[in-house]
Amino acid sequence: MKKAFMQEAIRLSIQMMRRGKGGPFGAVVVRKNEIVGRGCNKVTSANDPTAHAEVVAIRDACRRLGTFQLSDCELYTSCEPCPMCLSAMYWARLKKVYYANTRKDAADIDFDDDFIYTEVSRPIADRKLVMRQLMRKEALLAFNEWKKKADKIKY
């Protein structure tokens, strides 16, 4: 079954790239040997830099299953995930991820995520994206209220 799920992710990557939806990336989320979410790269067609195939597939699966956690699911993706998608996979609590192409394969066609992987490991002050803290005291009000909230849904 694993090969069939990966074949579907690869099929999506090719089909949707040919249709002009975005880059050559596809992904599927699988639960109990059934595809519950599909995604292709829609960055350029949706004008959304977060619309990577894996994120689109996770969103689709969550919508279909009515949940924000996919702890009983696996994800099959046509390429090793970028840092954003990898983070989304952790937040979704996926139990396993399978990938086909590597980061190097993606870099060879000008999808180079090494810059972001490197940036994330740097101290905030040393990153290329300027980040400055502002109004922490005021923002802590929401955090303090959340901490005391009796009916919160943890995630």
Query: 54 catalytic, yes or no?
Result: yes
Q: What's the one-letter identity of residue 115?
A: F
Residue bearing tokens 């996926």: 94
Give 31's contacts (C-beta < 8 A, 6+ positions apart): 61, 65, 70, 72, 73, 74
Mean pLDDT of 53-71: 98
| Single pTM value for the model | 0.93
pLDDT of residue 155: 84
65-116 tens-digit pLDDT: 999 999 999 999 999 999 999 999 999 999 999 999 999 999 999 998 888 9
pLDDT of residue 1: 81
Mean pLDDT of 111-125: 91
> Which one is catalytic: 54, 74, 138, 145?
54
Percent of the chain with pLDDT over 90: 95
Q: Over the chain, what is the mean pLDDT?
A: 96
pLDDT of residue 99: 98
pLDDT of residue 18: 96
Query: 39 has which bridge partners?
Result: 27
pLDDT of residue 20: 93
Mean pLDDT of 35-52: 97
Residue 154 has pLDDT above 90, yes or no: no
8 touches 57 (CB < 8 A): no
